[in-house]
Amino acid sequence: MSADVPPEKAYDVAQIREQYPSAYAPWSDEDDARLRVRYLEGASVPQLMSEFGRKAGAIQSRLRKLGLDGLRSPTITGGRLTELGTAPAGAVIAAPLTEPDR
């Protein structure tokens, strides 16, 4: 084998893009903004895969890069745990779960 012949790739981008049209394409600032909004709205990774035309690993990796990976926190309204929601990385969700002493 000659040194100037590049090794074959273990994957075929064109074939992968048949299922995931944006696979291996760079992320734009607009993509990042939309991903952040959709994730914080509660979209699941499978939903995001469909919307962005990318594989699960690409979505999860980008969420990590944006500091959003896996942050799903309880939403506290009026001192009561009401539903599961999302919070950006580093956010502190704090509210009394009982009435304070008066």
Confidence grade of residue 71 (pLDDT, cut at 50, 70, 90)? low
Look at the alpha carbons of 29, 39, 37, 74 in this order and tell me if their dihedral is positive or negative.
Answer: negative
Residue 11, pLDDT > 60, answer yes
> Looking at residue 69, what is its pLDDT?
77
Instruction: Quote the pLDDT of residue 5.
Output: 81
- The mean pLDDT value of the chain amounts to 76
Q: Does domain 13-70 have CATH number 2.20.180?
A: no
- pLDDT, residue 21, reads 95
Tally the residues of the chain: 102
Residue 34 has pLDDT above 60, yes or no: yes
Sketch the domain layout of the chain as residue ranges. 13-70
Q: pTM for the full model?
A: 0.61
